[in-house]
Amino acid sequence: MKTRREFLQESGLASAGVMLSGIKPTRLPDLGGKDSDGSRPNIIFILADDMGFSDIGCYGSEIDTPNLDALAKGGLQFTDFHNSPRCCPSRAALLTGLYSHQAGMGLMVSDCGRYPYPAYRGDLAENCCTIAEALRPAGYHTLMVGKWHVTPVSLGEHNYPLQRGFDRYYGIINGAASYFDPESLTRDNTPISVGADDPDYYLTDALGDNAVQFIDDAAHGEKPFFLYAAFTAGHWPLMAPEKTIAKYKDRYAGGWDKLRADRHAKQLAMGIVKEEWGITPRDPRVPDWNTASYHEWEMRRMAVYAAQIDKLDQNVGKIVNKLRQLGIFDNTLIFFMSDNGGNFEEMGPIPPYENRPPHIPYRTKNGDAIVPGNEPSLMPGPATTYASYGIPWGNCSNTPFRLYKHYAQEGGISTPFLAHWPKGIKSSGLVTAVGHEIDVLPTCLDVANASYPTTSKAGVPPTPLAGQSLAPLFHGGQLQDRSLFWEHEGNAAVRQGSWKLVSRYPDAWELYDMNADRTEMHDVADLHPDLVKSMAADYEAWAHHVGVQKWPMPETPVNERAGAMPSPPYLQHDRP
């Protein structure tokens, strides 16, 4: 069967002249300023990191997340919301209301300087506006805690949060760090560090504590505030306080097959997924739990990951409690989502004293050696380890969907999404409308009664928004019909109505009816060749519009070109 690229080339569908479908910019009314009655809401956007579709209780998880579950119960819980399939692209899209390529983040900040194409600069574009750059002129305090990851630390502070519209910041600039002693920790524009005299420091708690302090300070002023709380949980490294890990010590003794089945059963009972979709088969690289090696180590990997999500929820609780204490909970719009699907990345062995990435330190703040990599003889959790939960548990995180972070299948781009605002959202329950993170900025402008800026950081008009406001859904309305698109490392998709065209590089296009088969198990491309041709043409027109380059690009390192999915040696069958 032809690859997607061969099909397009032979069909002549790569023309830039194909009409763009569903990507007209949002046009919001120029309302500006503060409402006459001062009722504009505070806005808090909480972002999880590398957390899958089923990893919180209200989406089927066994992990204790009572605070997020309460927000879901009292607000809107989306069942068909989408992100981008990787950290940097997702954050760029979320912050700007644009597709990641339009914001200069088609790949990662680690690629900065490698590619001579605007869509792959690896540094947040200056001809776009962030949510903070849009809300601050409209009279909002703009606050941020957490992971930035849209500019390289090596370039200095020119694109740090304070240079992109935020008044205050506490967090990490890089994409990953030790939870006990985070590298690239920054307050406002000043690098800071955690001292050995702070033995109880844990990054998730520190982000929650700073968020609460920022809220407390802002709430005593006259202006509303916007808080972007970008937690690093549950991104690797697997690190959590031992007390929290202990809660989950035996919770995963049944293994990954049972866990996926249990989560799926809960999702069905909640109405999150449909029974006719079924559940995707276990990843073929993963053995049956009963024959798998290293049960204790595997249980520990998932227990630490669960503890990370548990700690995230605890800090969501801190934020909610502060809002209640201040009497502003009812008029605060709280969003929650994850930046991409659950992660399959397995951390291989890394030489202890050479070629180590900057986010992996050599020693803890107490001077103990750090041993990175997934090693079954080394139980993760403490500061001396640096591991990931890998393919088997990533497969569970994305229940019931296919694949993971990196890919445009539903496992890579489906996220929990919650919207809670007692004063502004009068109903509650499940929302089946198809949404995307590019909709967040237009929604913030809408509820804040603000206009999209006319000038960007670059001094030119900003790129028109790609998303649309979700606010009509808050009042029982509907979204406008549109197409949605994805591309990352050649992995591509387009969604139009109930139809999704998708490809994992370098495979051929596959076509799925999302109403009947959102788990993408029954490819019907051969039954609908005209639809495949039409959607492929729309994809190519969009790709040309936003600057997508043919993958791999000439500058792409050889080891990043193939899209291979390796199977680590510890995923083996050695039990009778």
pLDDT digits (tens, 9 = 90+) for 135-175: 999 999 999 999 999 999 999 999 999 999 999 999 999 99
pLDDT of residue 350: 66
pLDDT greater than 60 at residue 24: no
State how far the Cα of 348 lies from the Cα of 463, in Å rounded to an integer: 40
**26 vs 12, 451, 507, CA distance in Å?**
30, 11, 33
pLDDT greater than 50 at residue 218: yes
pLDDT of residue 352: 56
**37 vs 32, 40, 137, 422, CA distance in Å?**
14, 8, 19, 18
Helix (H) or strand (E) holding 530: helix 529-546
Q: Is 416 helix (H, G, I), strand (E, B) or coil?
A: strand
Q: Give the tens place of pLDDT for each residue, 315-364.
A: 999 999 999 999 999 999 999 999 999 999 998 776 555 667 778 888 99
pLDDT of residue 197: 85
State how far the Cα of 488 lies from the Cα of 4, in Å rounded to an integer: 15
Q: What percent of the chain has pLDDT over 70?
A: 92
Among residues 409, 410, 426, 429, the alpha carbon closest in space to that of 418 is found at 429
Domain ranges of the chain: 24-34+44-481
pLDDT of residue 320: 98
pLDDT of residue 13: 39
pLDDT of residue 136: 98
Q: Which two tokens stand for residue 529?
A: 């060749």
pLDDT of residue 355: 67
Name the pTM for this structure: 0.93
Of the pLDDT bands very low, low, confident and very high (cuts 50, 70, 90), residue 195 is confident
Q: Give the tens place of pLDDT for each residue, 97-129.
A: 999 999 999 999 999 999 999 999 999 999 999
State how far the Cα of 119 lies from the Cα of 551, in Å rounded to an integer: 13
Q: Which two tokens stand for residue 184?
A: 């690239």
Of the pLDDT bands very low, low, confident and very high (cuts 50, 70, 90), residue 476 is very high
**42 vs 266, 331, 420, CA distance in Å?**
33, 7, 12
Among residues 409, 559, 556, 555, the alpha carbon closest in space to that of 491 is found at 409
Instruction: Please count the other Cβ atoms lying within 10 Å of the Cβ belonging to residue 393.
Output: 25
Bridging pattern class, strands 141-147 and 168-172? parallel
Residues in CB range of 213: below 8 A, 6 or more apart: none
pLDDT greater than 90 at residue 91: yes
Instruction: Please count the other Cβ atoms lying within 10 Å of the Cβ belonging to residue 281.
Output: 12
User: Rounded mean pLDDT of 24-39?
Assistant: 39
What's the CATH architecture for 24-34+44-481? 3-Layer(aba) Sandwich (3.40)
Q: Which two tokens stand for residue 425?
A: 């959202």
Written as one string, the DSSP assignment of 14-46 is --TTSPP-S-PPP------S--TTS-PPEEEEE
pLDDT of residue 426: 86
Q: Give the tens place of pLDDT for each residue, 259-281.
A: 999 999 999 999 999 999 999 99
